[in-house]
Structure 1
């Protein structure tokens, strides 16, 4: 069993935790596990009249069969969560994800997380944080750029990728999953190599912008939160 997830009292402590844990990140490995847990969350927007709880979905994906085996949902009230502060997302969402993962009947071999891996100012986005905490291979797939700069302009064709850099150091990839759509930002989180992280995500692409397991997790989280709000 992993240790309890940390709850920092302030940002200085949170940043120190991130820097310390980042030293444990391993950037090598080629995930070969059959079962993937795709993780996404849905939160009430700041201006929404329907507040309600935040919801996380853990979708257990069978990579060999290309299908969902199980969906687990967890929810928490805003008062239970760390504040939303860019760069500290893991302290807010990881407890939700851990609660959802605990409800899966089959343990995953890889985590695919909506968020950053090491493409983070302190090299510990949510995918890296969860990967180290659970000692599982983990990959971050983000819809928006948090940190770093593309090496050069990304071509418009599907499957195009350029390196995402922090100075001269590669921290991930800018990846065009579909021709003409906005790119994704892929970065290894833990126990996955840089090239392997891109290849793994590419192997999970369907007909939409997101890799199929994450697309399903995104839909499940949204549906679950709407149901809770409508009760």
Structure 2
């Protein structure tokens, strides 16, 4: 996957917040997703050596079959502390290294974290989307900001996530009687479209298949499904898979 990665990163919270405020004007909340997408990706991060090493994973799945077609993994020294609302500065440098290894280019990326459901409307899904110029969705397992009404218990139910008078996401019940997910637009997508793709990527478990498989790879926990033997791009050129 080709993109231009930043050459420098903030090293403290004040500089990171300043960078978020500088970049958030580049977020586009409009549908620019290939319809239908051919490839969807999931990204996740784990840590090794008591947090000293960041382990970033990317999985690419065909859509809508959700068959695994490519994976990438990168490890780098961790260079930013754990600070809520600033996780992209801790995770993105290594995630970008993993994405750069992909031979295939996803049409949509689902992130384990927030999009605009963030105090400065610039969560990791926004930051990643702006950096690689790809449609992104934030799918968080917990609420970072906002309030909402109770979510009905059945699969597929959702309610708006609001911050004062602004709808910043959706609280989505992906499986009956399980904890909901917090879905928000990241970049080049609207909330209704983001919610629809999260629904299609979550056929069975609580988490989208993109996130579930990326988490396995990032945490080195459990086997991944076998890669599909081949995948064709727009020009029907055979691509070799990792």
- Fold agreement, TM-score > 0.5: yes
In structure 2, runs of 5+ residues without a counterpart are: 223-242
Relative distance call for 1:6 and 1:146 in structure 2 (3 A) is farther
Compare 23-32 and 170-179 and name the one that shifted more.
23-32
Report the counterpart of residue 13 of structure 2 in structure 1: 11
Deviations 1:87-130 (A, max 9, x none): 10000101111011111111112111100000000000000001
TM-score (normalised: structure 2):
0.85
Structure number with the higher helix fraction is: 1
Report the counterpart of residue 160 of structure 1 in structure 2: 157
> 1:44: Cα distance to partner?
4.3
TM-score (normalised: structure 1):
0.89
How is 1:25-64 mapped onto 2 (pairs within 5 angstroms)? 25-29=27-31, 31=33, 32=35, 33-44=37-48, 53-64=53-64
Q: Find 1:84's aligned residue among 82, 85, 89.
A: 82
Asked whether 1:137 is paired with 2:135, we answer yes
Q: Find 1:208's aligned residue among 201, 205, 208.
A: 205
- Report the aligned-residue RMSD: 1.8
Relative distance call for 1:3 and 1:70 in structure 2 (3 A) is closer
Report the counterpart of residue 195 of structure 2 in structure 1: 198
> 1:10: Cα distance to partner?
2.4
Asked whether 1:180 is paired with 2:180, we answer no
In structure 1, runs of 5+ residues without a counterpart are: 226-231
> 1:54: Cα distance to partner?
2.2
Compare 26-35 and 67-76 and name the one that shifted more.
26-35
- Secondary structure of residue in 2 paired with 1:43: strand
Q: Is the 8 A contact 1:73 1:224 kept in 2?
A: no
Give the aligned length.
218
Q: Is the 8 A contact 1:119 1:148 kept in 2?
A: yes
Relative distance call for 1:144 and 1:6 in structure 2 (3 A) is farther
- Secondary structure of residue in 1 paired with 2:220: helix
Q: Is the 8 A contact 2:12 2:80 kept in 1?
A: no
Relative distance call for 1:122 and 1:223 in structure 2 (3 A) is same
Q: Is the 8 A contact 1:28 1:191 kept in 2?
A: yes
CA distance in 2, matches of 1:196, 1:22: 20
Q: Is the 8 A contact 2:40 2:108 kept in 1?
A: yes
Q: Is the 8 A contact 1:72 1:103 kept in 2?
A: yes
Q: Which runs of 4+ in 1 moved over 4 A?
A: none
- Secondary structure of residue in 1 paired with 2:213: helix
